[in-house]
Amino acid sequence: MIYTFPRKKLKQKFKRMHLEVINMKKIGIVGGLSAESTIEYYKILIAEYNKRKGGMASPLLVIDSLNLEELVGLVSEDKWDEVFEIIFQSAKYLESAGAEVIIIATNTIHKIFDRMQKAIKTHMISILEVTAEAAKNLNLRKIGLLGTKFTMQGDFFQEVFERYNLEIIVPEQGDQEYVNDVIFKELTFNIINEKSKHGYIEVIKKLQEMGAEGVILGCTEIPLLIKEEDSPIPTFDTTTLHANAALEYAIK
């Protein structure tokens, strides 16, 4: 016997699902920095939304994928005004596409986050703020930071974390170069190397010896390589924290 779902109930079910999707805010993502981490954002947002809503539900998203080579070149030359202009134009494009909340899917570019938020009307969610809140919720005081050398050598993480009475520490110079090389030579190309994983774990252990009670995976590609179970201290996956915070905002 073939059971046919009543057409009226089927229409009501899909109408209900449609309204749930329409009621969420559309998320805009400044992506491509790198493409691999943007893919992770996309997968996390879809999986988490579907887990909550069920069926075939997927969130409203729009992504503007930028040229990583261009942005890295400008950052390395300390041309932050030009970086700002590119990100600003991307944010304006997302606004024109209907984005009601915007996230920049990378850590390093958050150096200009405050300036960007003042320049556009749409609400933005800071990867720095959501990570600091997660660390504060674990009652930690000193946290290690892994990321690109621009992130580790900058002061924008420290400025935000100080507002939460949290101290940021970074690896020694040689380890910073190593962490940065793995990001740009392997992880941005989705090359997952066991040797590099062990190398990162050794860097984390050194941070622990320096007093770190947790470690920020402060480049959105690092969670591709290092998982919570790999680390001797708690990890803060900035990609997942950021994506989930955007989804929470969008569905409230």
pLDDT at 9: 52
- The pLDDT score that the predictor gives to residue 23 is 83
Q: Which of 108, 148, 188, 219 is catalytic?
A: 219
Q: Which pLDDT score is estimated for 7?
A: 52
Active site residue 240: no
Is the pTM here over 0.75, yes or no?
yes
Residue 176 Cα distances to 51, 136, 145, 219, angstroms: 37, 25, 10, 13
Is 235 annotated as catalytic? no
Q: What is the pLDDT of residue 252?
A: 85
Please give the backbone phi and psi of residue 168, each rounded to the nearest 5 degrees, phi first: -100, 135
Q: Give the span between the Cα atoms of 191 and 185, in whole angstroms.
A: 8
The catalytically annotated residue of 38, 106, 148, 238 is 106
DSSP string covering 51-120: HHH-TT----EEEEE--HHHHHHHHHTT-HHHHHHHHHHHHHHHHHTT-SEEEES-SGGGGGHHHHHHH-
Fold exhibited by the domain 7-126+241-251: Rossmann fold (3.40.50)
Domain(s) labelled CATH 3.40.50.1860 in the chain stretch across 7-126+241-251, 128-237
CA distance linking residue 9 with residue 15, whole number of Å? 10
**What is residue 143's three-state secondary structure?**
strand
Q: What confidence tens digit (pLDDT) does each residue in 21-59 have?
A: 558 999 999 999 999 999 999 999 999 999 999 999 999
Strand order in the sheet with 27-31: 61-65, 27-31, 101-104, 123-124
Encoded tokens for 75: 């950052």
Q: Which residues of the chain have pLDDT under 50?
A: 1-5, 10-11, 13-15, 17-19
Task: Extract the runs of DSSP E, i.e. beta strands, from the chain.
Answer: 27-31, 61-65, 101-104, 123-124, 142-146, 167-169, 214-217, 235-237
How far is residue 75 CA from its own chain's centroid? 18
* Pairwise CA distance, residues 219 & 222, whole Å: 6
* The pLDDT value given to residue 176: 98
Q: Which CATH number fits domain 128-237: 1.10.10.10, 3.40.50.720, 3.40.50.970, 3.40.50.1860?
A: 3.40.50.1860
